[in-house]
Protein backbone atom coordinates (compact mmCIF):
# COMPACT_ATOMS: atom_id res chain seq x y z
CA UNK A 1 0.00 0.00 0.00
CA UNK A 2 1.45 3.34 -1.01
CA UNK A 3 1.68 5.94 1.75
CA UNK A 4 -0.27 8.42 -0.37
CA UNK A 5 -3.31 6.12 -0.31
CA UNK A 6 -3.70 6.11 3.48
CA UNK A 7 -5.52 9.43 3.52
CA UNK A 8 -8.09 8.00 1.10
CA UNK A 9 -8.63 5.02 3.41
CA UNK A 10 -9.04 7.35 6.39
CA UNK A 11 -11.60 9.44 4.49
CA UNK A 12 -13.53 6.31 3.50
CA UNK A 13 -13.55 5.06 7.10
CA UNK A 14 -14.65 8.48 8.34
CA UNK A 15 -17.45 8.54 5.78
CA UNK A 16 -18.68 5.07 6.69
CA UNK A 17 -18.51 5.91 10.39
CA UNK A 18 -20.46 9.14 9.93
CA UNK A 19 -23.06 7.42 7.76
CA UNK A 20 -23.51 4.58 10.26
CA UNK A 21 -23.87 7.04 13.14
CA UNK A 22 -26.51 9.07 11.32
CA UNK A 23 -28.50 6.08 10.13
CA UNK A 24 -28.47 4.64 13.66
CA UNK A 25 -30.58 7.63 14.71
CA UNK A 26 -33.36 6.70 12.27
CA UNK A 27 -35.05 3.37 11.70
CA UNK A 28 -35.27 2.07 8.14
CA UNK A 29 -39.04 1.79 8.52
CA UNK A 30 -39.25 5.46 9.50
CA UNK A 31 -37.20 6.59 6.50
CA UNK A 32 -39.07 4.38 4.02
CA UNK A 33 -42.36 5.53 5.52
CA UNK A 34 -41.65 9.05 4.30
CA UNK A 35 -41.99 7.88 0.68
CA UNK A 36 -45.79 7.85 0.89
CA UNK A 37 -46.54 10.13 -2.06
CA UNK A 38 -44.13 8.89 -4.76
CA UNK A 39 -46.55 8.76 -7.70
CA UNK A 40 -45.35 7.69 -11.18
CA UNK A 41 -45.89 11.23 -12.50
CA UNK A 42 -43.45 12.67 -9.96
CA UNK A 43 -40.94 9.96 -10.86
CA UNK A 44 -41.24 10.78 -14.57
CA UNK A 45 -40.86 14.51 -13.86
CA UNK A 46 -37.78 13.81 -11.73
CA UNK A 47 -36.17 11.65 -14.46
CA UNK A 48 -36.81 14.32 -17.11
CA UNK A 49 -35.31 17.01 -14.86
CA UNK A 50 -32.10 15.11 -14.06
CA UNK A 51 -31.68 14.13 -17.73
CA UNK A 52 -31.97 17.76 -18.84
CA UNK A 53 -29.50 18.80 -16.13
CA UNK A 54 -26.89 16.32 -17.38
CA UNK A 55 -27.50 17.52 -20.94
CA UNK A 56 -27.03 21.15 -19.90
CA UNK A 57 -23.72 20.29 -18.21
CA UNK A 58 -22.53 18.58 -21.40
CA UNK A 59 -23.59 21.66 -23.38
CA UNK A 60 -21.57 23.92 -21.06
CA UNK A 61 -18.53 21.76 -21.78
CA UNK A 62 -19.26 22.11 -25.49
CA UNK A 63 -19.29 25.92 -25.13
CA UNK A 64 -15.88 25.83 -23.43
CA UNK A 65 -14.47 23.63 -26.20
CA UNK A 66 -15.89 26.03 -28.79
CA UNK A 67 -13.89 28.82 -27.14
CA UNK A 68 -10.77 26.78 -27.94
CA UNK A 69 -11.83 26.43 -31.58
CA UNK A 70 -13.20 22.87 -31.32
CA UNK A 71 -16.64 21.78 -32.50
CA UNK A 72 -17.52 18.24 -31.48
CA UNK A 73 -20.70 16.17 -31.54
CA UNK A 74 -22.94 16.90 -28.57
CA UNK A 75 -23.85 13.26 -27.95
CA UNK A 76 -20.17 12.27 -27.79
CA UNK A 77 -19.59 14.97 -25.18
CA UNK A 78 -22.71 13.85 -23.29
CA UNK A 79 -21.44 10.26 -23.16
CA UNK A 80 -18.01 11.33 -21.95
CA UNK A 81 -19.59 13.67 -19.38
CA UNK A 82 -21.61 10.77 -17.96
CA UNK A 83 -18.44 8.66 -17.76
CA UNK A 84 -16.64 11.44 -15.88
CA UNK A 85 -19.63 11.86 -13.57
CA UNK A 86 -19.65 8.14 -12.82
CA UNK A 87 -15.94 8.03 -11.97
CA UNK A 88 -16.25 11.18 -9.85
CA UNK A 89 -19.00 9.56 -7.80
CA UNK A 90 -16.68 6.83 -6.50
CA UNK A 91 -13.55 8.95 -5.96
CA UNK A 92 -12.73 11.21 -3.01
CA UNK A 93 -12.77 14.96 -3.41
CA UNK A 94 -15.20 17.67 -4.52
CA UNK A 95 -16.50 15.66 -7.48
CA UNK A 96 -13.07 15.23 -9.08
CA UNK A 97 -11.34 12.12 -10.35
CA UNK A 98 -13.16 11.39 -13.59
CA UNK A 99 -11.65 14.32 -15.46
CA UNK A 100 -8.54 12.46 -16.74
CA UNK A 101 -10.76 9.63 -18.01
CA UNK A 102 -13.08 12.13 -19.68
CA UNK A 103 -10.12 13.92 -21.27
CA UNK A 104 -8.62 10.64 -22.49
CA UNK A 105 -11.85 9.63 -24.22
CA UNK A 106 -12.12 13.02 -25.93
CA UNK A 107 -8.45 12.96 -26.93
CA UNK A 108 -8.68 9.49 -28.47
CA UNK A 109 -11.95 10.20 -30.26
CA UNK A 110 -10.97 13.51 -31.89
CA UNK A 111 -7.18 13.56 -31.70
CA UNK A 112 -7.08 16.67 -29.52
CA UNK A 113 -3.96 16.98 -27.30
CA UNK A 114 -4.63 15.56 -23.85
CA UNK A 115 -3.62 18.74 -22.00
CA UNK A 116 -6.06 20.87 -24.01
CA UNK A 117 -8.85 18.33 -23.49
CA UNK A 118 -8.16 18.29 -19.77
CA UNK A 119 -7.94 22.08 -19.56
CA UNK A 120 -11.46 22.39 -21.00
CA UNK A 121 -12.75 19.99 -18.34
CA UNK A 122 -10.95 21.81 -15.53
CA UNK A 123 -12.41 25.12 -16.73
CA UNK A 124 -15.84 23.48 -16.63
CA UNK A 125 -15.10 22.12 -13.16
CA UNK A 126 -14.00 25.52 -11.80
CA UNK A 127 -17.24 27.08 -13.03
CA UNK A 128 -19.21 24.28 -11.38
CA UNK A 129 -17.35 24.57 -8.08
CA UNK A 130 -17.50 28.32 -7.65
CA UNK A 131 -21.15 28.51 -8.72
CA UNK A 132 -21.96 25.76 -6.19
CA UNK A 133 -20.06 27.71 -3.56
CA UNK A 134 -21.89 30.90 -4.53
CA UNK A 135 -25.29 29.25 -4.16
CA UNK A 136 -24.25 27.81 -0.79
CA UNK A 137 -23.18 31.25 0.46
CA UNK A 138 -26.46 32.78 -0.72
CA UNK A 139 -28.31 29.96 1.00
CA UNK A 140 -26.48 30.61 4.28
CA UNK A 141 -27.27 34.34 4.05
CA UNK A 142 -30.95 33.56 3.50
CA UNK A 143 -30.94 31.16 6.43
CA UNK A 144 -29.47 33.83 8.73
CA UNK A 145 -32.18 36.34 7.77
CA UNK A 146 -35.17 33.99 7.65
CA UNK A 147 -34.56 31.34 10.32
CA UNK A 148 -33.45 31.22 13.94
CA UNK A 149 -30.44 28.93 14.31
CA UNK A 150 -28.39 27.68 17.26
CA UNK A 151 -25.22 29.74 17.71
CA UNK A 152 -22.91 26.77 17.13
CA UNK A 153 -24.54 26.02 13.79
CA UNK A 154 -24.47 29.69 12.82
CA UNK A 155 -20.74 29.91 13.51
CA UNK A 156 -20.08 26.70 11.58
CA UNK A 157 -22.05 27.85 8.53
CA UNK A 158 -20.50 31.31 8.69
CA UNK A 159 -16.97 29.83 8.82
CA UNK A 160 -17.52 27.44 5.92
CA UNK A 161 -19.24 30.04 3.76
CA UNK A 162 -16.54 32.59 4.62
CA UNK A 163 -13.76 30.24 3.46
CA UNK A 164 -15.67 29.53 0.24
CA UNK A 165 -16.23 33.26 -0.33
CA UNK A 166 -12.54 34.14 0.09
CA UNK A 167 -11.39 31.39 -2.27
CA UNK A 168 -14.05 32.23 -4.86
CA UNK A 169 -13.33 35.96 -4.91
CA UNK A 170 -9.59 35.35 -5.00
CA UNK A 171 -9.93 32.88 -7.87
CA UNK A 172 -12.27 35.04 -9.97
CA UNK A 173 -10.19 38.22 -9.48
CA UNK A 174 -6.99 36.39 -10.47
CA UNK A 175 -8.61 34.88 -13.54
CA UNK A 176 -10.16 38.14 -14.74
CA UNK A 177 -6.79 39.84 -14.25
CA UNK A 178 -5.16 37.20 -16.41
CA UNK A 179 -2.99 35.96 -13.54
CA UNK A 180 -2.31 32.43 -12.30
CA UNK A 181 -4.12 31.09 -9.24
CA UNK A 182 -3.00 27.50 -8.70
CA UNK A 183 0.74 27.67 -9.41
CA UNK A 184 1.45 30.47 -6.87
CA UNK A 185 -0.34 28.40 -4.23
CA UNK A 186 1.80 25.41 -5.17
CA UNK A 187 4.99 27.44 -4.76
CA UNK A 188 3.97 29.08 -1.49
CA UNK A 189 2.95 25.75 0.03
CA UNK A 190 6.06 24.14 -1.56
CA UNK A 191 3.92 21.46 -3.17
CA UNK A 192 6.08 21.94 -6.27
CA UNK A 193 9.00 20.41 -4.32
CA UNK A 194 7.29 17.02 -4.40
CA UNK A 195 9.18 15.02 -7.09
CA UNK A 196 6.04 14.05 -9.00
CA UNK A 197 4.71 17.63 -9.05
CA UNK A 198 8.15 19.07 -9.82
CA UNK A 199 8.43 16.76 -12.82
CA UNK A 200 5.23 18.17 -14.32
CA UNK A 201 5.50 21.76 -13.05
CA UNK A 202 6.21 23.21 -16.50
CA UNK A 203 3.22 21.32 -17.91
CA UNK A 204 1.05 22.62 -15.07
CA UNK A 205 2.09 26.20 -15.80
CA UNK A 206 1.16 25.80 -19.49
CA UNK A 207 -2.03 24.07 -18.43
CA UNK A 208 -3.09 26.97 -16.22
CA UNK A 209 -2.40 29.46 -19.02
CA UNK A 210 -5.21 27.84 -21.00
CA UNK A 211 -7.54 28.28 -18.04
CA UNK A 212 -6.53 31.92 -17.52
CA UNK A 213 -7.03 32.62 -21.22
CA UNK A 214 -10.64 31.44 -21.06
CA UNK A 215 -11.53 33.75 -18.17
CA UNK A 216 -9.43 36.69 -19.36
CA UNK A 217 -9.91 36.70 -23.15
CA UNK A 218 -12.85 34.46 -24.07
CA UNK A 219 -15.40 36.55 -22.18
CA UNK A 220 -18.14 35.85 -24.73
CA UNK A 221 -17.91 32.11 -24.17
CA UNK A 222 -17.50 32.71 -20.45
CA UNK A 223 -20.84 34.51 -20.53
CA UNK A 224 -22.42 31.64 -22.47
CA UNK A 225 -21.06 29.14 -19.93
CA UNK A 226 -22.53 31.14 -17.04
CA UNK A 227 -25.87 31.30 -18.87
CA UNK A 228 -25.92 27.52 -19.32
CA UNK A 229 -24.99 27.14 -15.64
CA UNK A 230 -27.92 29.36 -14.72
CA UNK A 231 -30.24 27.17 -16.81
CA UNK A 232 -28.91 24.05 -15.09
CA UNK A 233 -29.62 25.60 -11.69
CA UNK A 234 -33.19 26.39 -12.75
CA UNK A 235 -33.57 22.75 -13.76
CA UNK A 236 -32.30 21.77 -10.31
CA UNK A 237 -35.25 23.62 -8.80
CA UNK A 238 -37.52 21.24 -10.71
CA UNK A 239 -35.40 18.24 -9.75
CA UNK A 240 -35.76 18.92 -6.03
CA UNK A 241 -39.34 20.04 -6.39
CA UNK A 242 -40.28 16.65 -7.84
CA UNK A 243 -38.06 14.84 -5.34
CA UNK A 244 -39.81 16.51 -2.38
CA UNK A 245 -43.16 15.49 -3.86
CA UNK A 246 -42.11 11.88 -3.11
CA UNK A 247 -42.47 12.75 0.59
CA UNK A 248 -45.68 14.72 0.23
CA UNK A 249 -44.10 18.15 0.70
CA UNK A 250 -44.87 21.03 -1.64
CA UNK A 251 -41.97 23.37 -0.87
CA UNK A 252 -41.43 26.97 -1.84
CA UNK A 253 -38.65 28.13 -4.21
CA UNK A 254 -36.71 29.47 -1.20
CA UNK A 255 -36.89 26.11 0.58
CA UNK A 256 -35.88 24.33 -2.64
CA UNK A 257 -32.94 26.70 -3.01
CA UNK A 258 -31.74 25.97 0.52
CA UNK A 259 -32.00 22.21 0.03
CA UNK A 260 -29.99 21.92 -3.16
CA UNK A 261 -27.44 24.55 -2.06
CA UNK A 262 -26.69 22.38 0.98
CA UNK A 263 -26.45 19.33 -1.29
CA UNK A 264 -23.88 21.15 -3.44
CA UNK A 265 -21.90 22.12 -0.35
CA UNK A 266 -21.89 18.50 0.89
CA UNK A 267 -20.22 17.30 -2.31
CA UNK A 268 -17.46 19.88 -1.90
CA UNK A 269 -16.06 17.96 1.07
CA UNK A 270 -13.29 15.44 0.25
CA UNK A 271 -15.29 12.40 1.40
CA UNK A 272 -15.93 9.57 -1.10
CA UNK A 273 -19.58 9.57 -2.14
CA UNK A 274 -20.08 12.41 0.40
CA UNK A 275 -20.89 9.62 2.87
CA UNK A 276 -22.36 10.99 6.05
CA UNK A 277 -21.84 14.59 4.93
CA UNK A 278 -24.81 14.53 2.52
CA UNK A 279 -27.09 13.00 5.15
CA UNK A 280 -25.92 15.48 7.80
CA UNK A 281 -26.50 18.40 5.43
CA UNK A 282 -30.03 17.25 4.63
CA UNK A 283 -30.90 16.61 8.26
CA UNK A 284 -29.64 20.09 9.15
CA UNK A 285 -31.56 21.90 6.43
CA UNK A 286 -34.74 19.88 7.10
CA UNK A 287 -34.53 20.80 10.79
CA UNK A 288 -34.11 24.45 9.79
CA UNK A 289 -37.19 24.23 7.54
CA UNK A 290 -39.24 22.42 10.18
CA UNK A 291 -39.60 19.27 8.06
CA UNK A 292 -39.28 15.72 9.38
CA UNK A 293 -35.51 14.99 9.31
CA UNK A 294 -36.22 11.39 8.35
CA UNK A 295 -37.41 12.79 5.01
CA UNK A 296 -33.97 14.44 4.73
CA UNK A 297 -32.36 11.01 4.99
CA UNK A 298 -34.88 9.78 2.42
CA UNK A 299 -33.95 12.62 0.07
CA UNK A 300 -30.29 11.74 0.49
CA UNK A 301 -31.20 8.18 -0.52
CA UNK A 302 -32.94 9.49 -3.65
CA UNK A 303 -29.88 11.58 -4.54
CA UNK A 304 -27.57 8.62 -3.99
CA UNK A 305 -29.78 6.36 -6.09
CA UNK A 306 -29.68 8.92 -8.91
CA UNK A 307 -25.89 9.11 -8.67
CA UNK A 308 -25.60 5.31 -8.66
CA UNK A 309 -27.72 5.10 -11.83
CA UNK A 310 -25.62 7.74 -13.61
CA UNK A 311 -22.47 6.04 -12.39
CA UNK A 312 -23.67 2.68 -13.68
CA UNK A 313 -24.49 4.18 -17.08
CA UNK A 314 -21.09 5.87 -17.14
CA UNK A 315 -19.15 2.69 -16.39
CA UNK A 316 -21.24 0.79 -18.95
CA UNK A 317 -20.31 3.40 -21.59
CA UNK A 318 -16.68 3.09 -20.53
CA UNK A 319 -16.92 -0.70 -20.83
CA UNK A 320 -18.38 -0.43 -24.34
CA UNK A 321 -15.66 2.05 -25.27
CA UNK A 322 -12.97 -0.35 -24.07
CA UNK A 323 -14.57 -3.13 -26.13
CA UNK A 324 -14.65 -0.92 -29.22
CA UNK A 325 -11.01 0.05 -28.62
CA UNK A 326 -10.03 -3.60 -28.34
CA UNK A 327 -12.09 -4.38 -31.45
CA UNK A 328 -10.27 -1.60 -33.33
CA UNK A 329 -6.94 -3.05 -32.19
CA UNK A 330 -8.01 -6.54 -33.33
CA UNK A 331 -9.19 -5.21 -36.70
CA UNK A 332 -5.90 -3.35 -37.15
CA UNK A 333 -3.97 -6.51 -36.25
CA UNK A 334 -6.07 -8.53 -38.71
CA UNK A 335 -5.35 -5.98 -41.45
CA UNK A 336 -1.65 -6.23 -40.73
CA UNK A 337 -1.90 -10.03 -40.77
CA UNK A 338 -3.71 -9.96 -44.11
CA UNK A 339 -1.12 -7.61 -45.55
CA UNK A 340 1.68 -9.88 -44.25
CA UNK A 341 -0.06 -12.93 -45.69
CA UNK A 342 -0.46 -11.20 -49.07
CA UNK A 343 3.22 -10.32 -49.05
CA UNK A 344 4.18 -13.90 -48.23
CA UNK A 345 1.92 -15.16 -50.98
CA UNK A 346 3.65 -12.88 -53.47
CA UNK A 347 7.01 -14.18 -52.29
CA UNK A 348 5.78 -17.78 -52.61
CA UNK A 349 4.65 -17.07 -56.15
CA UNK A 350 7.94 -15.47 -57.15
CA UNK A 351 10.28 -17.97 -55.50
CA UNK A 352 8.85 -21.14 -57.11
CA UNK A 353 9.12 -19.42 -60.49
CA UNK A 354 12.74 -18.67 -59.81
CA UNK A 355 13.32 -22.20 -58.56
CA UNK A 356 11.62 -23.68 -61.63
CA UNK A 357 13.74 -21.51 -63.85
CA UNK A 358 16.89 -22.76 -62.20
CA UNK A 359 15.71 -26.36 -62.42
CA UNK A 360 14.88 -26.07 -66.10
CA UNK A 361 18.19 -24.45 -66.88
CA UNK A 362 20.04 -27.13 -64.98
CA UNK A 363 17.97 -29.66 -66.85
CA UNK A 364 18.91 -28.15 -70.18
CA UNK A 365 22.54 -28.11 -69.19
CA UNK A 366 22.42 -31.73 -68.11
CA UNK A 367 20.76 -32.75 -71.37
CA UNK A 368 23.31 -30.93 -73.47
CA UNK A 369 26.13 -32.92 -71.98
CA UNK A 370 26.57 -36.48 -73.13
CA UNK A 371 27.66 -38.97 -70.53
CA UNK A 372 31.27 -40.01 -70.81
CA UNK A 373 31.97 -43.37 -72.31
For 1-22, write each residue's pLDDT tens digit: 454 456 666 766 766 676 777 7
Is the residue at 20 inside a domain? no
Residue 130 pLDDT greater than 90, yes or no: no
Is the residue at 344 inside a domain? no
Q: Return the higher-pLDDT residue of 82 and 197.
A: 82
The pLDDT of residue 50 is: 93
Based on the structure, what is the number of domains in the chain? 1
The pLDDT of residue 308 is: 87
Instruction: Tell me the residue range of the domain where 49 lies.
Output: 34-326
Residue 370 pLDDT greater than 80, yes or no: no
The pLDDT of residue 91 is: 67
Which of 122-126, 263-267, 321-325 has the highest average model confidence (pLDDT)? 122-126
Is the residue at 366 inside a domain? no
Q: Return the higher-pLDDT residue of 263 and 108.
A: 108
Is the residue at 335 inside a domain? no
Is the residue at 334 inside a domain? no
Q: What is the pTM of this model?
A: 0.72
Q: What is d(CA 339, CA 94) in angstroms, rounded to the nearest whole number?
A: 50
| % the chain with pLDDT above 70 | 72
Q: Return the higher-pLDDT residue of 347 and 190.
A: 190
Is the residue at 350 inside a domain? no
Q: What is the arithmetic mean of pLDDT over 52-61?
A: 94
Is the residue at 28 inside a domain? no
Main-chain phi, psi angles of 35, to 5 degrees = -85, 55
Q: Report the chain's mean pLDDT, rounded to a whole number.
A: 76
pLDDT-based confidence at 177, cuts 50/70/90? Answer: confident
Q: What is d(CA 46, CA 56) in angstroms, rounded to the nearest whole number?
A: 15
Is the residue at 180 inside a domain? yes
Amino acid sequence: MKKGNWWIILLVLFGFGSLFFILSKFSIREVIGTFHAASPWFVVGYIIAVTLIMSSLAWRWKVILMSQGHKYRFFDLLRYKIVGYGVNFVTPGPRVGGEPVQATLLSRRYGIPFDKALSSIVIDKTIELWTSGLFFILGVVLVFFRFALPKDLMWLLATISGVFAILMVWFIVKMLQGKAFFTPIMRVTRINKIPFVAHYERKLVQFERLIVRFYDRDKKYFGYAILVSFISWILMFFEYYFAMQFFGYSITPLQTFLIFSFVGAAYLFPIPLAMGVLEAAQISVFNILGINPAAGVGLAMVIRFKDVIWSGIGFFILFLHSLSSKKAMIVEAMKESIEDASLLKEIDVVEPDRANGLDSSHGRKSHSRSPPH
